[in-house]
A and B are shown apart, each in its own frame.
Chain A
């Protein structure tokens, strides 16, 4: 049973556009929702994270929107750049163990 469902599987966005990746979770006990960015040959790097007591968190061009009642959260990348081309993973958990989505391969075209 997949605890975290992520969509889309792949995404192509033009430079300067907005990239949006969505995730849904099942377990209402989850209280930590991070997003990771992974480049080929590298480990995932923590990008931004949110706790369920807030509905939105913004760090630079990256924003997490969180909907507790719908059990959904999303990552918005504003002014997407070619350097943002990577695989993005959402995760949800209690802090001790994270359940990851399957990942979204983002390509930002020049």
Chain B
């Protein structure tokens, strides 16, 4: 079974621009969560989507948004980029049933804001 894939892997943007990141979950997984990883703050939960609905949201400003499509693929959008948004953005997918708690991460998208 293929793992979680994220595109692009690397991205360089300028302050003020917006960016869209993409995540394809493991086949059969319907839950997708997004995390931001920085050296200072570590791994922080952004939001979770299940069946195209946002179920949980972390403590991030409204500039961070996401959506999920009917095939469970998810996108994350950051508008009006700030220098502090430079981070590794990780997507994790989760299945159902007995393994519903286990989250599997993708390789991440490294975003650099200049």
Contact = CB atoms under 8 A, between A and B. Distances in A.
A7 B52 CA distance: 37
Interface string A72-110: 000000000000000001010001111111110000000
B107 A98 contact: no
A9 B3 CA distance: 29
Interface string A10-50: 00000000000000000000001010100001111110010
B101 A97 contact: no
A44 B48 contact: no
Interface residues of B, number: 22
B48 A89 contact: no
Interface residues of A, number: 22
A7 B55 CA distance: 31
Contact of A97 (B45, B105, B106): B45
B103 interface: yes
B56 A97 contact: yes
A46 B42 CA distance: 17
Contacts of A95: 94, 100-101
A100 B107 contact: no
A26 to B, nearest CB: 15
Contacts of A45: 105
Interface of B: 4, 33, 35, 42-45, 48, 55-56, 58, 90, 94, 100-108
Interface of A: 32, 34, 36, 41-46, 49, 51, 89, 91, 95-103
Given A46-B102, A97-B58, 8 more contacts: A43-B90, A44-B43, A45-B105, A96-B48, A97-B48, A98-B103, A100-B44, A102-B42
